[in-house]
Amino acid sequence: MNLAQILFSQGFGTRRECEVLALRGSIRIAGRVVDDPAARIDAEGLVLDVDGESWPVHAKALVMLHKPAGFECSQRPSHHPSVMSLLPAPLRRRGVQPVGRLDTDTTGLLLLTDDGALIHRLTSPKKHVEKVYEVETDEPVTQRQIDALLRGVVLRDDPQPVRAAACVQTEPRALRMTLREGKYHQVKRMLAAAGNGVIGLHRSRFGALELPPDLMPGQWRWLGSAHEVLGPAVR
């Protein structure tokens, strides 16, 4: 690919804007300015320096975000800002979207990608990709509630019982719950069906990937490949 094509594929603007970006000397590769938009470059493993910012080239983007409360997982938010506003413009331009959704008041690990096949693989119930949630409850957790969540509870608008793949109490009013599906408001509705309520919800793991302790709310980070998420979790 030539330099302008690479820049375009990474979301740095229209084809003409990418040509201008190169012509004005904004691109460095291995410390050297490359100002020819037509320069042929091997994109494999390439790291660009764009106006002083390092940008690893990925054919498909995959990033993790520590979602803070008060943001919607939507391209067109209705009442709160979108999580997309927490990402740099090139990622937004190339069309990354959340892998599943977290409620506005839910925090934690959110994946975003422009790889449609990967989104399907990570969200399909048939793939059994586990998501782990740290749940702060309204009332003290009882063993009866944990047993109900593991056995399966019936939600108001779904006749088929849904159950947690794992559920352990972590504090008197907190538990850690593992799910292998992703229904609307699922954790909150399951706790309600079990006789409790949710006052705080945080996703700590998605597949094999745990939220790093040094990734602060609102921060994002590249993932090297889907294997960091898939691991042994997908069968």
* Alpha carbons 94 and 113: distance in angstroms, whole number: 9
Task: Check 103, 147, 157, 214 and give the catalytic one.
Answer: 103
Task: Return the number of other C-beta atoms located less than 10 Å from residue 22's C-beta.
Answer: 23
CB 98 within 8 A of CB 106: no
Active site residue 138: no
For 1-18, what is the HEC assignment? CEHHHHHHHCCCCCHHHH
Cα separations in angstroms, 226 against 95, 107, 117, 232: 17, 22, 11, 12
Which residue type does 35 have? D
Strand partners, 219: none
150 sits in which H/E element:
helix 143-151
Cα separations in angstroms, 158 against 180, 198, 224: 16, 20, 38
Task: Return the number of other C-beta atoms located less than 10 Å from residue 52's C-beta.
Answer: 7
List active site positions: 103
